C-alpha cells in the first residue's frame, strides 16, 4: 500500500532564526545546521551550542526524528538515532531550513495517528526510503529555485511511499544496513589497495633515481636483474 507522507508523519520546519546564529559555549541548546546533515546518522558531538531564551517544546528533537534538507542540491535525510547530550545541554534543535519528519504513532481510539489498517511504521525504514534513489529523483523533480534548490513542505508531504507490513520493514532495514556495511568495507579495501600501489610505485621511482645518479660507468644489466624487474612489475599488475 502507498500513502502520502502527510498521512504517515508530521513535517515541520526547524527553528527560524531571525538573525545570524551566534555560538555560545555555555548555551543550553545544541543546534543542528545544514552542514551537520550527512544522509546517515546525526552526530551530536560536533553540534554548536547556542542560547535560546524561549522556545516552543515541539522544536526539541527526539530519537527517531528524520532531518531533511529543504534548501540544497541534495535533499537527503539524516536519522536521529539517539540524543546524547553534553553537560549543560538540555535539548537539541534543528534550524530552518531543515525540515523535521516525525513518524506518527499507531491509530488511537479517536482516530489520530497512522491510517487505519496500518500496523506501524518504523522511522528507520522511512529514513532508508526517503534516501532511496527513486524517491530522491521524485523530490528533485519537484524542487524549484535558482541559485539553490528549494523543496517545499507540501512537496515532501505529498510524496507517496510504499509501506509494507512491519516484518518486511524490519527485513529491509537489516538488509540495507548490511549493504551499507559492505559498501564501506569495499571502499576501505579500494583505498588501502590504492595506497599500497602508490607506495610501490614511489619505491620504483626512487630506485630509478638512485640508479641514474650512480657515477660508475654504465654497465649492461644482467639477465638476472632484468628478470627481477619483470617479476616486480608482474606482481604490481597482479595486485
The total domain count for the chain is 2
Q: Which residue matches cell numbers 559555549?
A: 25
Least confident segment among 43-52, 74-83, 139-148:
139-148
List pLDDT tens digits, range 168-207: 999 999 999 999 899 999 999 999 999 999 988 888 888 8
Domain assignment present for residue 223? The answer is no
Model pLDDT, residue 211: 62
Domain assignment present for residue 238? The answer is no
Gap between the Cα atoms of 47 and 208, Å rounded: 50
Gap between the Cα atoms of 144 and 140, Å rounded: 8
Domain assignment present for residue 224? The answer is no
What is the H or E stretch that residue 3 is in?
strand 2-4
pLDDT at 55 > cutoff 90: no
Report the residue count for the chain.
Answer: 239
Model pLDDT, residue 146: 47
Least confident segment among 135-144, 155-164, 181-190:
135-144
pTM (predicted TM-score): 0.79
Domain assignment present for residue 222? The answer is no
**How big is the CA angle at 45 (ends 37 and 61), to the nearest 5 degrees?**
60
CA 173 to chain centre: 15
Q: Where on the phi/psi map is residue 168: left (φ > 0), alpha (ψ -120 to 50), or beta?
A: alpha
Handedness of CA 117, 123, 128, 131 (dihedral sign): positive
Domain assignment present for residue 8? The answer is yes
The reply to whether 78 and 16 lie within a common domain is yes
The reply to whether 123 and 139 lie within a common domain is yes
Gap between the Cα atoms of 123 and 4, Å rounded: 15
The reply to whether 133 and 147 lie within a common domain is yes
The reply to whether 128 and 42 lie within a common domain is yes
Domain assignment present for residue 50? The answer is yes
- Structure-model confidence comparison of residues 197 and 217, the more confident one: 197
Model pLDDT, residue 1: 85
- Structure-model confidence comparison of residues 197 and 214, the more confident one: 197
List pLDDT tens digits, range 79-126: 999 898 889 899 999 999 899 999 998 877 666 788 888 888 999 999
Helix and strand numbers, DSSP H then E, in the chain: 6, 9
- Structure-model confidence comparison of residues 84 and 6, the more confident one: 6
Domain boundary among 163, 179, 195: 163
The reply to whether 69 and 144 lie within a common domain is yes
Write phi, then psi, for 39 (nearest 5 degrees): 80, -5
Gap between the Cα atoms of 176 and 23, Å rounded: 37
What residue spans of the chain are helical by DSSP H? 5-8, 123-130, 133-142, 153-157, 166-212, 223-237
List pLDDT tens digits, range 195-205: 999 988 888 88
The reply to whether 153 and 198 lie within a common domain is no
% residues pLDDT > 70 (the chain): 82
The reply to whether 125 and 157 lie within a common domain is yes
The reply to whether 136 and 157 lie within a common domain is yes
The reply to whether 122 and 187 lie within a common domain is no
All three cell numbers of 138, joined, read 521524485
Gap between the Cα atoms of 236 and 230, Å rounded: 10
Q: 93 lies in which domain range?
A: 2-104+114-163
The reply to whether 158 and 184 lie within a common domain is no
All three cell numbers of 177, joined, read 544496513
Domain assignment present for residue 142? The answer is yes
Q: Specify the CATH number for the domain of residue 95.
A: 3.90.220.20
The reply to whether 89 and 176 lie within a common domain is no
Domain assignment present for residue 196? The answer is yes
Amino acid at each position: 500500500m502507498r500513502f502520502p507522507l502527510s498521512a504517515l508523519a508530521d513535517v515541520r520546519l526547524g527553528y527560524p532564526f531571525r538573525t545570524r546564529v551566534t555560538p555560545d559555549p555555555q548555551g543550553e541548546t545544541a543546534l543542528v545546521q545544514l552542514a551537520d546533515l550527512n544522509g546517515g546518522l546525526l552526530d551530536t558531538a560536533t553540534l554548536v551550542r547556542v542560547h535560546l531564551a524561549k522556545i516552543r517544546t515541539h522544536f526539541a528533537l527526539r530519537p527517531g526524528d528524520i532531518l531533511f534538507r529543504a534548501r540544497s542540491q541534495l535533499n537527503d535525510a539524516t536519522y536521529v538515532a539517539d540524543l546524547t547530550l553534553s553537560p549543560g545541554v538540555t535539548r537539541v534543535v534543528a534550524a530552518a531550513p531543515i525540515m523535521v519528519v516525525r513518524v506518527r504513532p499507531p491509530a488511537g481510539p479517536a482516530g489520530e495517528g497512522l491510517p487505519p489498517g496500518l500496523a506501524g511504521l518504523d522511522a528507520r525504514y522511512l529514513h532508508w526510503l526517503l534516501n532511496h534513489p527513486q524517491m530522491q529523483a521524485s523530490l528533485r523533480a519537484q524542487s524549484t529555485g535558482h541559485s539553490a534548490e528549494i523543496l517545499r513542505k507540501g512537496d515532501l508531504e505529498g510524496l507517496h511511499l510504499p509501506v509494507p507490513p512491519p516484518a518486511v520493514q524490519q527485513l529491509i532495514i537489516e538488509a540495507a544496513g548490511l549493504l551499507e556495511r559492505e559498501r564501506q568495507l569495499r571502499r576501505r579495501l579500494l583505498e588501502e589497495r590504492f595506497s599500497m600501489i602508490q607506495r610501490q610505485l614511489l619505491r620504483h621511482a626512487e630506485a630509478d633515481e638512485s640508479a641514474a645518479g650512480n657515477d660508475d660507468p654504465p654497465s649492461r644489466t644482467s639477465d638476472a636483474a632484468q628478470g627481477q624487474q619483470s617479476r616486480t612489475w608482474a606482481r604490481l599488475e597482479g595486485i
